[in-house]
Chain A
Amino acid sequence: MLKIEHLTKKYGDKIAVDDLNLTVEDGQICAFIGHNGAGKTTTLKAIAGIMGFDNGKISINDIDIQHEPMKAKMQLAYLPDNPDLYEHLKGIEYLNFIADVFGLSVEERKKNIEEFANRLEIYKDLTEPISSYSHGMKQKIALVSALIHKPKLLLLDEPFVGLDPISSHQFKMILQELADNGATIFYSTHVLDVAEKICSHVAIIKQGKLIVHDTMENVKGMSSLEDIFLELENEEHN
């Protein structure tokens, strides 16, 4: 479970995230949407323990990210919007590195790498250096590295960018399976129709403030998520 209480993050005088309160329960896939600069990536980075914040509390399965960062990070995986990987390592070297970080046994990592790398069709390229990978292949390696320890909380920033249709479909299935097994998935995106299909919940952020957070059904009703989002944006403008 992800619990954010009164999160505030400032960049100088600018308030990037303003008193944000949000809870995503186990088994939920929550889409996190908002216009550019709304504070999505800042929030994700704060949850992942990458950046500090000025006020508030973030806990992952009741573990405070600020007070027990190592313990909290063991529970999560973060996939940035444009994962910058160690180009000089081979795919398998990078995955072994991540497996070492999470203390996975040889058997465990073998099982998970084989499973996810095969499903995302990157397995046969694992012995190549990452520098020789295409953008999509790098995204796949980043996804496998995020899944390798079967995290309790998965933080994703535009995870479908660069994926081919088959891998994209497979990844959606993987997300659903993880959620069914009790993982919490918090997923930032601009692709609203994909979010609509795979997410059980949605949170909309605008100028650092959370303006909507509910189940997908309750938010969109009979219309589409895109219509609701545009409606909310227009309301604010008017």
Chain B
Amino acid sequence: MKNTINLTKIYFKESLSNSFNSTNKRSIVKNVLYFIFLFIFIALCLGYSLYNMAIAQMQLYGSASSIILIGLLMSTIMVIMMTAFDTQGYFYKSKDYEILQSLPIKTTSVVTAKYLSSYMMSFIYNAMIGIPTFVVYFYFEQISALAIVIAVFGLILLPAFTQLIGSLLAWVINIISSKMKNKNIMRSILTILFLILLYVFIFSADTTSFTDAFVGDIPLAIKIILPQIYFLYNSVINVSLLWFLAFVGISLLFAIISILVVSISYKKINSALNISIKSKRKGKIYYKKTTIFSTLLKKEAKTFVSSPVYLMNGIIGPILLIIVAIVIGSGMKGVSGLSLNIYAVITMSLLTLSIGMVPTTAVSISMEGSKLFNLKSLPIKYSTIILSKISFNLLLVFPFLLIAQIILWIINPFEIGVCVLLFFYYIISLILYVSFGMLMNLKMPRLKWSSETQAVKQGGSMLITMIVNLVLSFLPMIIYFLFSTQILSMGIVLYMGLMFMLNVVLAIIVISLLFTIGKKLFNKIQ
């Protein structure tokens, strides 16, 4: 127990100082405050949407109770989509595996500490939606001290389900990969395969479930697949200790199962994953002259495909682009007039959200680790290094963006001018998000990490980039709904043009900062 606590403390301390790129307390506080500000901002935006939703429910059914169900469902689905595949990075192929194995620490202690470390990230994402959900609910319904206590514990224990899914996926992917010759590639292939399966499962879910939830009729699927949410929902709306105990019980059960499953073959899997089998067939030594830029680009690509966590992080957005295009496209069939304008604005927001969800640039400096010092000692220009990282991200997303756009062109009834304008809007948004991610990673690089997940998922740069990109993505939608009358009178094409110009201006500012302040930040990294 003592080892678990000590190890957990170490991981938390490491996460805090490295996520916010400093060992200096004042600097950590400054960066933490910056992050909290963005967290509150996004929670307020979500809270506002939930508030409007709750008003509608109060008018229709006289109760806002199902807002909890909607909020918890949203948060669970989002966290599963965002973090389920990152869990493997905490448990498997972490840099501290060998040193920890050489110490007299039980495997379950190590696994528990790693579990809690990954739990923290799920908790942050969960809380981002969970907190505004409960605040809005308590605004409309009567508050009792017990209900607040239940809500607080509910938020703390809620990630247990997503952690269970993450742990099981991690275990399955890594136990299969560990038996293969090309372990890294297998890990990546299996991770993408499971990711697609999971996304297909989520997106093919019966959407009438949500409608049922609005009228308070909880679908059977939620009771069976997500009993944790069902129990928490009942314990809050009925202020019931019995339901709450059931919720605590099932959450703890999920946590225990997660830890036990990972612990079972932890040593065996990790040992196998750390063995590299050399190919018997010797390749040919070649001497080829290429540009530094293309070699750096190739290096970025190899690093990306060889790390399942990095790969997952960067591929979610492009895959979502295609899915969103299909879903929106099919929803637009036969739509015209005012509804078409709304669809156009929703398309703008959702596609840019997918584009900017997790830019690789937001972590590419962190992924270098101490290798960055090798790069810095070489006569390579700052601009070459940065442009190679940005170009890789652009090249990764662009084909998916093109496919998504073709899908929309085939299905949607927009005029060609609107289509072209939208396409340029996506391109400039992509450049803006990718450059902003780069700037943030230069501001908050996390070079010391014991697992790739820490570099990819626990960096302050990633969190801030995601939040800012989320806000920028939804900006056209928020402005449209706030000033719809004025926008409709000026015309939707002009509105889109203004949004495009806004992103052009922002992109110019960010790129300028990247080549001025960014260069200074790069030189300061030590």
| A→B interface (CB under 8 Å) | 12, 45, 48-52, 69-71, 73-74, 76-78, 80, 82-90, 92-93, 96-102, 104-106, 109-110, 113, 123-124, 126-129, 131-132
Query: What separation, in Å, do the CA atoms of A77 and B397 have in the docked complex?
Result: 36
B432 to chain A, nearest CB (A): 29
Does B2 sit at the interface, judged by CB under 8 A? no
Determine whether the beta carbon of A96 is less than 8 Å from that of B295. yes
Q: Which of B277, B283, B377 has the largest count of A CB atoms less than 10 A from its CB?
A: B377
Tell which of A52, A109, A113, A132 touches B278, judged by Cβ atoms closer than 8 Å: A132
Determine whether the beta carbon of B276 is less than 8 Å from that of A48. no
Determine whether the beta carbon of B379 is less than 8 Å from that of A84. no
Determine whether the beta carbon of A84 is less than 8 Å from that of B369. yes
Query: What separation, in Å, do the CA atoms of A48 and B523 have in the docked complex?
Result: 12
Tell which of A88, A97, A102, A123 touches B306, judged by Cβ atoms closer than 8 Å: A88
Query: What separation, in Å, do the CA atoms of A80 and B284 have in the docked complex?
Result: 29
User: CB-nearest residue of chain A relative to B381?
Assistant: A70
Q: Known interface pairs A80-B370, A132-B278. Does A101 touch B285 (Cβ–Cβ under 8 Å)?
A: no
Q: Main secondary structure on chain A at its contact with chain B?
A: mixed
Which residues on A sit within 8 Å (CB–CB) of B380?
101
Query: What separation, in Å, do the CA atoms of A88 and B184 have in the docked complex?
Result: 10
A12 to chain B, nearest CB (A): 7
Chain B interface size, as a band, is 35 or more
Query: What separation, in Å, do the CA atoms of A100 and B298 have in the docked complex?
Result: 13
Which residues on B sit within 8 Å (CB–CB) of A70?
379, 381
Which residues on A sit within 8 Å (CB–CB) of B505?
none
Q: Known interface pairs A52-B523, A88-B302, A110-B287. Does A78 touch B292 (Cβ–Cβ under 8 Å)?
A: no
Does B526 sit at the interface, judged by CB under 8 A? yes
Determine whether the beta carbon of A98 is less than 8 Å from that of B378. yes
Tell which of A74, A98, A100, A129 touches B276, judged by Cβ atoms closer than 8 Å: A129
Q: Which of B282, B283, B376 has the largest count of A CB atoms less than 10 A from its CB?
A: B376
Determine whether the beta carbon of A45 is less than 8 Å from that of B378. no
Determine whether the beta carbon of A85 is less than 8 Å from that of B371. yes
Does B373 sit at the interface, judged by CB under 8 A? yes
Does B483 sit at the interface, judged by CB under 8 A? no
Determine whether the beta carbon of A52 is less than 8 Å from that of B299. no
Which residues on B sit within 8 Å (CB–CB) of A99?
287, 289
Query: What separation, in Å, do the CA atoms of A88 and B298 have in the docked complex?
Result: 10
Interface bits B208-236 vs A (CB < 8 Å: 1, else 0): 00000000000000000000000000000
